Each structure stands twice: as structure tokens, then as C-alpha cells.
Amino acid sequence: MKYFKIEGPVKLKGEVSAQGAKNAVLPIMSAIILYDTPVLLSNVPQVVDVFTMIELLKILGTKVEWKGKNDLLLDPSTINRYTAPYEIVNQMRASIYVLGPLLMKFGKAAVSFPGGCAFGPRPIDYHLHGLTLLGANLEIDRGYINASMKSPTPAEITLNFKSVGTTIHLMTTASLIEGETTLINCAQEPEVVATADFLIKSGVKIEGAGTNVIKVKGVRKLNNLTEYKIIPDRIEAGTYITAGFTTGGEVMVTGCSPIHLEPVIAKLKEAGASVERGNDYVLVKPRENKIKSLQIETQPFPGFPTDMQPQFMSMLSVAEGLSIIKEGIYPNRFAHAFELQRLGAKIKVIEPTAFIEGVEKLTGAEVAGQDLRGSAALILAGLIAEGITTVFGIEHLERGYENFQEKLQSLGAKIQSSS
């Protein structure tokens, strides 16, 4: 396993720029299956999940080429396959996004069921039910979803939960279904709005993205864009400002969208941070000389994001008093809590809630990240723990963070990596 060796404690200071949003580029790359001419995506993060999606699109026949460090050219005109194989889908759940577009392009598709992950089963039942309502016929056989779409039908679909993936997947699929499809109880995350923006610029009439009701007037053919810029990654940016505050330092993240960070900024201010923000930067520094305890419930946007929960748990491990974190999205997303205990954190988990009693300090030890944000959280803890913390499982981190080690080192972190 790849690992980071981190020497703490350090106070981070300086400025980093945000990468492009992993959770916006993945659905937009999938939507390009609906195209038949090349598109140049800019501000694409060089992270493993993007590499996996590139691999999948290539298997389908797409020509893909990096035209610059973060500029990716995709040519879907040569797509000639409609099977998404297990070995790819099992690596990345977002592969499911290709099912609807393949159905609209070929009238059929075979996509493997995705695996689970460290924080429990990651079902796709809402996706499949919605596709059925749009006219798909789905059969499950030997771990594959064998789908056909003989007569695409606009529909009114009420989601059981404000699922990001389901909202995006059904909105994208409905883009080529003539008539009006209405999605109710939609996710409102910025990545939903970004995907809608891409589709609107492709000629689809979409109203209500970012609210809980989205109306899609599908078109027979997209008017193909030739280029599109990906929005900044709010969770990456949130990770750096939280790291800065956790270490008692001062960190500015540029090239980000502060409006997408409001739920995180609100909680950092409540914890004692002073926050300055412009239209594309956030600067966080301590307002007081202690971190105050918090009560947090993760919720769909604009609630506090579950993808920032692990990073906040690291911060609250050394806050003053008792903090409570309740997971409203993934009840068992707490693998990182048991690793933080190895550093001396006092945390009790009674799912879906964690109780964190702040301690004076953490002490360096060996820990292992089990998933993307959990690994980031353990690195944040290593920055404040006294001595050396070895964080194993950096493979998870690389799925969603570009140049994490270099960016932290530019802020003063002392990190050696195994590779």
C-alpha cells in the first residue's frame, strides 16, 4: 500500500488553487456519449477516477487524448460498443452514469453492477427504477444489467431520496427523450447544476436544476459544444481550508466557488475561524486560539456535505468539548473514526452518530485510510499529531485529489511518500 509519512505538528500557511470538480467531470464525460462530435473539456483534474472513466470510454470506442495538463479531448464519434465491464465498474461506482446515455445511443446496453465501498452498500435501485419509468427494460443476469430502450417515454418521477447520482443520471437520459420529463425531490448539489448547464449549452431545455424539481424537455439531437470548462471542486477546496484551520494556520484557496462552500464555511466560523471570501477565493484563519466543538448533521446540498464529514472529525478531535456528528447520507461512514482513535482521539460511534470528545493533542501513529475522504482526514490529523504519522491507503486519496502531497508541502507540511 502507498503511504505518506507526516511530521507534526505544523501550522499551514499560504495559497493553493482548486482543481476541477471530480463529481462534475464524471457525469459530463458520460453525457458526451450522447454526442457524435469531439468536445474539449478544460479544468479536468488528473485524478484516478477520471483515468478510470477515460478507460471505460475508450473501451466503448471513444478516442480520448490529454491536450494539456488539465485539458481533455473526447471524440465519441467512434463509440461502437455498449458494454461497461465489471473490472471497470467495480473500481468506480460512477461508471453507472454511462447506462442511460448508451441506452439512448444504441437502444441497448450491458453495464455491470457496481461494487460496494468502505462505507457500506452503494445501491443503484433508484437509478434503475427511474430508467424503467423512462421506458427502459432491464434484466439482471450474472451481475450485469442487460438493458434495452425500445420506446423512450417522458415521465414524472419522484425520487425516494435527493440522490445526486440518480438526479444526474435521469436528467442526462431524459435529454434525448422528446416531451417533458419532470424529476421531483432532486438533489441540488452544484455538480447537478453543472451537468445541467452542460446539457443546456448542448441544446436541451432544462429548468429547475439546483431546486428540488427539474423539468427536462428532451431534443432529438444535441447541438454539440466543442469545448466546456469544469467547475471547481468544492470538496477539495473545503479540505484545504479545513486543514488550514485545523492546524491553526492561514490558508487561501483560489480558483474556487465560495458559494458552493457556504455550508462548510458556516461550520468553520462556528468552530472559531475567521473567513474572508471573494468571488473566486476563500481565506481562512483562526479567530480565537481554540477550536470550538460543533454539532453537525450531514444532509443533501445545501446542508453540510457528507464528503466533508471525515475531515471535520479530524478537526473536532482536538476541539474544546464534545462534538456530535450525525450522518444523514451514509449511516456507517465512520471507518476513519477508528483510525483516529489510534492517534489518541476520543470518539464513540453509535451509527449513524459519532460523539467526539476533544483532546489536548493527538500523537503520531500508523493508520490506514479506507476510502477517499477518510484518507484525506487522516492526513489532516497527521498534520497536527505530535511526531510521525504514517497514513497507508494513499491509493484511495489519489482517486479524487490532484497533487495532494505537493499542495500541502507548498503550505508547509512535512510529508514523505512511499513512491
Q: Which residues bind ligand EPZ (CB under 6 A)?
A: 23, 26, 93-94, 122-127, 161, 163-166, 187, 191, 306-307, 329-330, 372-373, 400
**Residue whose grid cell is 500523537:** 363
Rounded to an integer, what distance in angstroms lies between the CA atom of residue 205 and that of residue 197? 10
Q: Is 186 a catalytic residue?
A: no
User: Whole-number minimum distance, CB 26 to ligand EPZ, in Å?
Assistant: 5
User: Whole-number minimum distance, CB 187 to ligand EPZ, in Å?
Assistant: 6
Using CB positions, name the residue nearest to ligand EPZ: 165
Rounded to an integer, what distance in angstroms lies between the CA atom of residue 405 and that of residue 413? 8
Helices (H), 278-358: 309-316, 335-342
User: Whole-number minimum distance, CB 157 to ligand EPZ, in Å?
Assistant: 12
Give the containing element (helix H, strand E) for 15.
strand 13-17
User: Whole-number minimum distance, CB 355 to ligand EPZ, in Å?
Assistant: 21
Say whether 3 sits in a helix, a strand or coil.
Answer: strand
Identify which of residues 68 and 120 has a Cβ nearer to ligand EPZ in the complex.
120
Identify which of residues 3 and 119 has a Cβ nearer to ligand EPZ in the complex.
119
Identify which of residues 136 and 252 has a Cβ nearer to ligand EPZ in the complex.
136
Identify which of residues 105 and 333 has a Cβ nearer to ligand EPZ in the complex.
333
**Residue whose grid cell is 470550538:** 292
Identify which of residues 19 and 293 has a Cβ nearer to ligand EPZ in the complex.
19
Task: Tell me the CA distances in angstroms from 353 to 64, 188, 313, 356, one per residue in order.
Answer: 43, 24, 12, 10
Q: Assign 3-class secondary structure to 213-269.
A: EEEEEECCCCCCCCEEECCECHHHHHHHHHHHHHCCCEEEEECCCHHHHHHHHHHHH
User: Whole-number minimum distance, CB 166 to ligand EPZ, in Å?
Assistant: 5
Longest Cα separation, the chain: 64
Out of 110, 117, 219, 283, pick the active-site residue.
117
Residues 6+ apart with CB under 8 A from 74: 29, 32, 38, 39, 40, 41, 57, 62, 63, 64
CB of 162 within 8 A of CB of 21?
no
Rounded to an integer, what distance in angstroms lies between the CA atom of residue 174 and that of residue 161? 19
Beta pairing class for 322-326 and 295-297:
parallel
Identify which of residues 253 and 365 has a Cβ nearer to ligand EPZ in the complex.
253
Burial category of 141 from C-beta neighbours within 10 Å (exposed 0-12, middle 13-18, buried 19 and up): exposed
User: Whole-number minimum distance, CB 124 to ligand EPZ, in Å?
Assistant: 4
Q: Catalytic positions, please? A: 117
